[in-house]
Amino acid sequence: MDSSDFLELLRALTHLSSTQLERAQQHIQHHLQADLLRQSFSEHHADEPISCPHCHSVHVIHWGQSHGSLRYRCKDCLRTFNQLTHSSLSGLRRKEQWVAYAQCLKEGMTLQAAADECHINLKTSFRWRHRFLRYALTTGATKLCGIVEADEMFFAESFKGSRHLEREPRKHGGNGHGLPPLVPVLIALDRYENETETVLLDKSYQQIAPAIEPLIRRGSVLCTDGNQSYIQVAENTGVIHKRLIISDKKRVEDEVYHIQTLNNYISRLRGWMARFHGVGTDYLKNYLAWFRMKEQRRDDAKSWLSGGMKIFTNT
């Protein structure tokens, strides 16, 4: 469409009624979503040669299309595959709704709200959410440097979504079973907005050390609370350790060493998680990664789509 036709179209919008404008908006939104999906597919593999997901050979040829996706055939193993084979989104149907669902992730909608928005079943909403979130799991920091803050936070153990409980159900009143066990989560970040999180079995040194030691660069300064496990971690990694013990009224040292950045992060995380009214422990790491992406401003619809297409299912 040339510019004169486009301007004529814009002028025509001024003569539409409210109902017609609403229908036009829905129509435009549909085409915007379809265009974003096409862009994601076209940019997939754009920066790297296409290789066979089965034998990793680069000797592949085009092999037609299927359900709107390009297909390829490997000349070495003779197997066929499409653009989404072994990706997080492989096997999911209703591609026309993926952009809308990615937008629901950006807005942090609940499962039911996302299902209503995309006109899909609640079970489908659950399946799509955790397929998309596989991308988020791969975006955690691989290294932390400079001033590194680390601490644990705790979530109530939950079997939400499980069909079979491994314990007796807790009931209100009567002979209850007490408070639910708490699941510790190690959160670590530096001042360069690099963050990572790990769900632990307990807050012992045996659990904390393997999770954080490979991430800390030499020359960094590790700031923690009073957990003594970090003393050995600092010795093993050869970094300076600053312990900020609140009970000793020691929150900041030398006006720069503190864990307030981490405490603020945890506070925002708790507030954001409240909308889900409890998260199943088996899926807790997915939600932690989801929040991290929101904090890093990498949770736009295009990022979710592109990431879902690139990440393999074994990540």
pLDDT for residue 1 is more than 90: no
Q: Is 84 helix (H, G, I), strand (E, B) or coil?
A: coil
Q: Answer yes or no: is 77 within a domain.
A: yes
Residues 82 and 95 in one domain: no
CA 306 to the chain's CA centroid: 13
The residue that leads in pLDDT, 98 or 24, is 98
Q: Quote the domain boundaries for residue 258.
A: 147-162+180-296
Residues 79, 49 within the same domain: yes
| pLDDT tens-digit map of 105-149 | 999 999 999 999 999 999 999 999 999 999 999 989 999 999 999
More confident residue, 175 or 41: 41
308, two tokens: 């879902």
pLDDT of residue 286: 95
Is 47 within the bounds of a domain? yes
Identify the pLDDT of residue 64: 87
Q: Please give the pLDDT value at position 314.
A: 43
pLDDT of 312 above 70: no
Q: Are residues 152 and 268 in the same domain?
A: yes
What is the DSSP-derived secondary structure letter of residue 248?
A: G
pLDDT value at residue 198:
96
pLDDT digits (tens, 9 = 90+) for 182-191: 999 999 999 9
| Domain contains 46 | yes
Residue identified by tokens 């001042």 is: 191
- pLDDT, mean of residues 254-269: 94
Q: Which one has a higher pLDDT value, 115 or 70?
A: 115
> Given a cut of 90, is residue 3 above it in pLDDT?
no
Same domain? 202 vs 61: no
Whether residue 313 is predicted with pLDDT greater than 50 in this model: the reply is no
CATH number at residue 287: 3.30.420
User: Which residue, among 82, 122, 119, has the nearest Cα to 98 in the 3D structure?
Assistant: 119
pLDDT tens digits along 287-300: 999 999 999 877 78
193-223 per-position pLDDT tens digit: 999 999 999 999 999 999 999 999 999 999 9
9-51 confidence digits (pLDDT tens): 778 878 788 888 788 877 777 667 667 777 777 776 555 678 8
Q: What are 263-289's pLDDT values in tens digits?
A: 999 999 999 999 998 899 999 999 999
User: What is residue 175's DSSP assignment?
Assistant: S
Measure the CA–CA gap between 60 and 62, rounded to whole angstroms: 7
Percentage helix, strand, coil, to 5, in the chain? 45, 15, 40
**pLDDT attached to residue 150:** 96
The answer to whether the pTM exceeds 0.85 is no
**pLDDT reading at 177 higher than 70:** no
Residue 217 lies in a domain: yes
Task: Please indicate, yes or no, whether residues 47 and 132 belong to a single structural domain of this protein.
Answer: no
What's the pLDDT score for residue 178? 60
Higher pLDDT, 197 or 89: 197
- Are residues 66 and 187 both part of a single domain? no
Single out the residue in 42, 57, 86 at which a domain terminates: 86
Residue 305 lies in a domain: no
75 and 156 belong to one structural domain = no
Q: Work out how many domains the chain is built from and give that number.
A: 3
The total of other beta-carbon atoms located within 10 Å of residue 311's CB is 21
Whether the predicted pLDDT of 88 surpasses 70: yes
CATH of the domain at 113: 1.10.10
Q: Are residues 277 and 156 in the same domain?
A: yes
272 within some domain: yes
Q: Assess if residue 20 is contained within a domain.
A: no
187 and 118 within one domain: no
Which of the four pLDDT bands, split at 50, 70 and 90, describes residue 179? confident
